[in-house]
Amino acid sequence: MDNCLFCRIVNREIPSRIVYEDDLVLGFYDIQPKSPVHVLLIPKEHIGSFNELTRDHDRLMAHLTAHIPIVAEKLGIKNSGYRVVVNCGRDSGQEVAHLHYHILGGRPMENNFG
Ligand code: AMP
């Protein structure tokens, strides 16, 4: 989508620090990290949020999800542990309407989901 920030990152119209890429997904560092390691993992295809998923996305989402531990290993946080966050819609605070996993690690975290 033309006016989607993450589509523009996929298309290299906006620079990012890429940590993983294949033909279906892209992983890049969050510009405002909430932990020492904070990477966003996204499908290259524009999907606005979890609410837009259909069964047609099953294989893509399996591929995306399977790459969470692969990216975590590349980041050196696979064994120390990490948190995966998905925001969906207004009350979650979702800012960018392109489905993304936050992968957060590099420090101990509390179970505070406020
Ligand atoms: P969310 O609130 O779940 O939609 O998360 C959007 C995330 O995108 C936030 O953590 C932002 O810091 C991050 N973000 C916004 N612009 C950029 C950018 N140009 N490059 C990397 N991350 C970004």
Parent domain of 23: 5-105
| Residue 27 belongs to a domain | yes
The answer for residues whose C-beta is within 8 angstroms of residue 85's C-beta and 6 or more apart is: 101, 102, 104
What is the reported pLDDT for 2?
85
- Residue 67 has a CB neighbour count (10 Å cut-off) of 19
| Residue 112 belongs to a domain | no
| Residue 110 belongs to a domain | no
| Residue 114 belongs to a domain | no
**CATH code, domain with 53:** 3.30.428.10
What is the C-alpha to C-alpha distance for residues 4 and 6, in angstroms, rounded to an integer? Answer: 6
Pocket test for ligand 1, best of 4, 9, 16, 31 (most atoms within 8 A of CB): 31
Ligand 1 neighbours (beta carbon < 6 A):
5, 14, 16, 30-32, 40, 87, 93-96
pLDDT by position in tens, the chain (length 114)? 889 999 999 999 999 999 999 999 999 999 999 999 999 999 999 999 999 999 999 999 999 999 999 999 999 999 999 999 999 999 999 999 999 999 999 999 999 887
* pTM greater than 0.85 (yes/no): yes
| Residue 58 belongs to a domain | yes
Q: Which atom of ligand 1 is nearest to the CA of 87?
A: 3
Pocket test for ligand 1, best of 4, 34, 40, 94 (most atoms within 8 A of CB): 40
Number of domains the chain contains? 1
